[in-house]
Amino acid sequence: MVRYRLIVAYEGTEFHGWQKQEPKNAPPLRTVQGVLESVVSKVVREPVILVGASRTDSGVHAKGQVAAFSTNREIPPERLARAITSRCPEDLQILSADVVPEGFDPIADAIIKKYRYQIQHGRVIRPLFDRRTVWTTHHDLDLQRMKDGAARLVGTHDFEPFASANHGRETTVRTILECDVECSSGNRITIEVVGNGFLYNMVRIIAGSLLEIGRGARSPESIDQAFSSGDRSLTGPTLGPQGLSLEWIEHELPESDGSQHIEEDSSR
């Protein structure tokens, strides 16, 4: 068996998230995992189980999702990536593929993730061509106030007040390594968050909290108050999925036995 890792990008608007969903007495929903698993199975000519590192929600995008599968077929990684992408719909593609140790688990072996959230603000015309990848507010946002709030998120904290009630995790303690807010253009603000793990809707609630701080509805100190009290009412709303993108994931690979090296076939 050979285990492959795929770096996957998708525009998430027309997907019901990453994870396969097969409702009872109804057709399966269109999900990234469902579509990609079907395509990969056709390429390698056998059924595969595709595991993704992050279960992005409906409407959320990805530039660096990581997925893995094992197969009996040995295909040079570059050719595999091209073959899969050629069969994918236009809102999904494989950026790269490589061979990893058989024990590689995209979920358990993930050590750092980066998310980006884009907001257009102020009394300007709403975005047209990138409307599916940015959240719009008509409030004018104060960048420095948002930066102050973002700095208070860095470190190891209990992020319970920054998660949806049905997060399903045993512990809500997470470490945020970086949380930056920058003006990427005249009326466009980008929030970038790097951490060792994220709870359900955590980044969208962080974005909502910083938006509230930026428009003056909350103080930067409300971040500290939320941590100390654990009170969800002290954090902001869950912003829409369209502004959110999974940028990249870093993994710590298990040791390999050296039996899975495949050379690219230069004759094709």
Residue 244: helix, strand or coil by DSSP? strand
Closest residue by Cα to residue 31 from 62, 3, 7: 62
Contact 115, 177 (CB under 8 A): no
Percentages of the chain per state (helix, strand, coil), in multiples of 5:
25, 30, 45
Length of the chain (residues)? 268
Beta strands (DSSP E) in 18-132 are 51-52, 61-71, 92-100, 110-121
Contact 55, 67 (CB under 8 A): no
Euclidean distance between the first and the last CA atom of the chain, given in angstroms as a whole number: 23
Strand partners, 38: none
Contact 54, 65 (CB under 8 A): yes
Question: What are the residue numbers of the active site?
Answer: 57
